[in-house]
Amino acid sequence: MSTSAGKVCILQNSFEPGFIAEGDYIIAGIFPLHYNQEMPDLNCTYKPPPVKCNGFDPRAFRWAQTMRLAVEEVNQNLELLPNYTLGYKIFDSCAYPLTGQRAAMAVLNGMSEDDSPMCSGASPLLAVIGESGSAQSIVVSRILQPFQIPMISYFSSCACFTDRTKYPTFFRVIPNDDYQVKAIAQLLVRFNWTWVGVVRGDHEYGRFAVQGLMRELQGTSVCVAYQEMIPLLYNQQRALEIMQVMRSSLARVVVVFSAEGEMTPFLRDYMKQNITGIQWVASEAWVTASVFTGKEYYPYLGGTVGFGIRKGYISRLSNYLETVNPQRYPNNMLVKELWEALYGCSPSLSSASQLPPCSGQESPLKQHSAYLNTSSPRVAYNVYKAVYAIAHSLHNLLMCQPGSGPFKNQSCAQSDNVLPWQLQYYLQEVKFIIAGEEVNFDLKGDSIPYYDIINWQRGTSGNIEFVNVGLFDGTKPAGEELVIQEDMIMWAGDQSEVPMSVCSASCLPGSRKAVRRGEPVCCFDCVPCDNGKISNQTNAIECTFCPEDFWSNKDRTACISKKVEFLAYDSLGIALTVISVVGACLTIVVLAVFFYHRNTAIVRINNSELSFFILFALTLCFLCSLVFIGEPTFWSCMLRHTVFSITFSLCISCILGKTLVVLAAFTATRPGENIMKWLGPKQQRAIIFSCTLVQVVICGAWLIDANPYPSRNTKYERSKIILECSVGSSLAFWCVLGYIGLQACLCFVLAFLARKLPGNFNEAKFITFSMLIFCAVWLAFIPAYISSPGNYADAVESFAILASSFGLLFCLFAPKCYIILLKPEKNTKQHLMGKEKK
Ligand code: TRP
């Protein structure tokens, strides 16, 4: 716009650079030389004064000096950019986006109207080195974008910059925070800190870092107990609330994404509150902040761990820094402020400060580490790299051979009119080695992810020292990125043991986690595993079932094979064996007695053949209980019920035959004697045979169709395997028993009818009696059998067999033996028929 006054344009506002140097190509640097500012009164009744920056930051001042040093080095270097010089303008952003914006504008505008009398456009600015905080970098990037001026940030790590469409001209020499949050997540997992607090500042950096951390923690064992934000405009009320949360939470570990700006007032209040026992995990923004290295911080911050960005070595830096003093730069306000900050005195008499005056030639002291500690610069090294990246790119650009350039029609950039976007092309491609480290940018403008793990330990003077205790190398394959020398770490509270930060103590093997309703998964109760389930590691989520033939031990930590049980030759088995052998022997003895006395009246009158049969059958009955003892096998299972049922059938058939004979014999004394003819020995045998045959047929059918087989019963008692014989077909089983029962009942009824028949030795009476016992035993057997498990069922059956056999043996044969052996005088036909006295 032209005015009558002759001036073509008027600068709206001026913003002085802190340092300036002329050169053929100008680059700008923006640094947060103050960490705080005072907002001017914006009521617009008068022209607002410029923002007042407070809190001089010697650390950032050092970064700025590093940039100057690097530019000077490049200018002296005969190989890099020969015949050309670099110039710079360095601005202060006051660590605040708004001031950052003003700095960016000033960078573009040039300093005054005189600078550009024609107001011909932007000053010949090639690139910007800056800014520190991501929030400021975002603003600066937005302003530079329309002019396609590339910027290289030395400290803005926010993951948000990966969006190339939003930040097309953005480069950085610091790894993307995505790697840092990954590293922090791995650190938390590594030390089993499953319940952690997260605190952040109110800026893009904090927002994206916390977002990234939450994403990384998903699917891990770590839960976030709370997330708190320190407000942008520090507010003590809010800070105290945050501290209250920290104090009351079980989370001992607190991850902080913040920088000195908000951490300084926050920590001041924190120390006043006298909270201890917090293990800080610091982000790269403050893990190497020398502001907090003072003695007074140690009890509260000692033991802090965090990921620091890569350090480098700049050989000339410390000498260079020593050359900066108020004598050399008498008019530079920043150098004056540096002096005030370092020595607490004012080098110029004109200033209005109340500080005592000093010469400005004071030699730097050791305690000025925030400024002078150049042993392992990290951010300063980034600044250094950034300058060299620009110098190398520019060098490559100027070295372009006409006709083989990268631009349209193989053209090159013109050295007298280099356009920033042309430099951007070369920046994207640049690759060089500095202090042994290769520097280049990927497609998103990011650099190689590498972090040192830094631990805050007490130094000799009581100050905090940053000790390197490991590293995170993002280029390594997953799982190998994190390398920690654990024994070198000093934890919070001077502890050498890893602090605990959990919501619930871990569950020991033998129990599992049970999540509490409505609470995060990291807060849980421990529930012991159920019977038959185990957990063999700590913090098991689930108890696992033991494999089929296994069962849990008492502690539920291991599966042991189940106890196998069957009716073995243990005390019960042996007792049953003894009883059955005794029974069999007794029967054989009786058989022998009968055989020996086979010609006496009592044997003959009682149908000796049938008696022998019965005794033989009884012997078998006794012996068949032996088949029930021992481990069930294919054959023993087949034999068990069949042998038993057939021998019993045989036995009862014989008794039945005998009853019939008795009945017939006595009824035959009445008219119609020929009934005896139908019950001669042959017929008797036929009856016995056919009655037994029925049972044999049933058993045969059973064996063919659904034979009993050995089986493992795990249902009755789940901790044991019971070996038993499955009946195969229960219908057949009950048929077999039912048939015996039927025979026994029939026998009982017939014998009952014959019980009152005359005769001193009335066989029928004894048969009735024996059948009564028999039936009683087997009726009692049924419920006992059904309700007993495997091996006991076998014992019950075996016992029933023995009991009923004994019952039969005693009832039928004891009276006869008594007479044969003890009362031989009664062993006469007359006596037996009850006729002797008549
Ligand atoms: N890496 C941080 C960032 O990208 C570093 C940082 C510098 C910072 N200055 C800050 C973070 C101020 C928060 C506030 O922003």
Which residue is closest in CA terms to ligand 1's atom 12?
133
Residue 303 — very low, low, confident or very high, per pLDDT cuts 50/70/90?
very high
What is the rounded average pLDDT of the residues 47-72? 88
pLDDT at 206: 95
pLDDT tens profile 365-420:
655 656 776 677 899 999 999 999 999 999 999 999 988 889 988 999 888 888 88
Q: Which residues line ligand 1 (CB under 6 A)?
A: 95, 132-134, 155-158, 201, 203, 205, 258-259, 261, 284-285
Q: What is the pLDDT of residues 761-780, one digit of tens each?
A: 677 888 888 888 888 888 88
pTM: 0.70
What pLDDT does 286 receive?
92
Q: Which amino acid residue places its CA nearest to atom 6 of ligand 1?
A: 133
Q: Which of 57, 98, 134 to mutate to test the pocket of ligand 1 (most atoms within 8 A of CB)?
A: 134
Query: Quick one: tokens of 791?
Result: 């091996």
The ligand 1 atom nearest the CA atom of 283: 1
Give the pLDDT band (50/70/90) at residue 838.
very low
Q: What are phi and psi of 228, to 5 degrees?
A: -125, 155
Q: Which of 283-292, 301-310, 453-462, 819-828 has the lowest mean pLDDT?
A: 819-828
Contact 479, 473 (CB under 8 A): no
Neighbouring-strand partners of residue 414: 417
Whether the Cβ atoms of residue 681 and residue 609 lie closer than 8 Å to each other: yes
The DSSP string of 678-707 is GGSHHHHHHHHHHHHHHHHHHHHHHHHHH-
pLDDT > 90? residue 565: no
472: confidence class by pLDDT, cuts 50, 70, 90: very high
Question: Which residue minimizes the CA distance to atom 4 of ligand 1?
Answer: 156
Ligand 1 closest atom vs CA 32 = 9
Helix axes 58-76, 333-343, angle to 10 degrees: 130
682 has pLDDT over 70? yes
Pocket test for ligand 1, best of 30, 173, 204, 205 (most atoms within 8 A of CB): 205
Residue 156 alpha carbon, nearest atom of ligand 1: 4
CA of 18 to the centre of ligand 1 (A): 21
What pLDDT shows up at residue 683?
83
The mean pLDDT of 535-564, rounded to a whole number, is: 88
Specify the ligand 1 atom closest to the Cα of 206: 13
To the nearest whole percent, how much of the chain has pLDDT over 70?
91
Supply φ then ψ for residue 830, to 5 degrees: -60, -50
Output the CA torsion sign for 764, 765, 769, 770.
negative
The number of the ligand 1 atom at minimal distance from the alpha carbon of 132 is 7
Indicate the range of 407-421, 493-507, 546-560, 599-613 predicted with least confidence: 599-613
Range 293-297 average pLDDT:
88
Residue 260 contacts residue 35 (beta carbons within 8 Å) = yes
Name the least confident of 26-30, 77-81, 415-419, 577-581: 415-419
First to last CA, the chain: 167
Q: Cα of 467 to ligand 1 centre, how many Å?
A: 22
CB 219 within 8 A of CB 246: no
Decide if pLDDT at 436 tops 90. no
Task: Give the pLDDT band of residue 7 (cuts 50, 70, 90).
Answer: low
For residues 722 and 718, give the distance between their C-alpha atoms in angstroms, rounded to a whole number.
9
pLDDT at 4 over 60: no
pLDDT for 403 equals: 87
Three-class SS state of 721 = strand
Helix residue spans in 110-235 (DSSP H): 134-144, 177-190, 204-217
d(C-alpha 381, C-alpha 389), whole Å: 12
Average pLDDT over residues 185-208: 94
What is the C-alpha to C-alpha distance for residues 628 and 788, in angstroms, rounded to an integer? 15
Burial class (CB in 10 A: 0-12, 13-18, 19+), 348: middle
Q: For 60-117, write each residue's pLDDT tens digit.
A: 999 999 999 999 999 999 999 998 999 999 999 988 888 888 888 888 876 555 554 4
Ranges of H-type helices in 191-310? 204-217, 236-248, 260-273, 298-301
| pLDDT tops 50 at residue 489 | yes
* CA of residue 473 to ligand 1 center, whole Å: 21
CA atoms within 13 A on the CB side of 107: 34
Q: How many angstroms separate the alpha carbon of residue 482 from the centre of ligand 1? A: 23
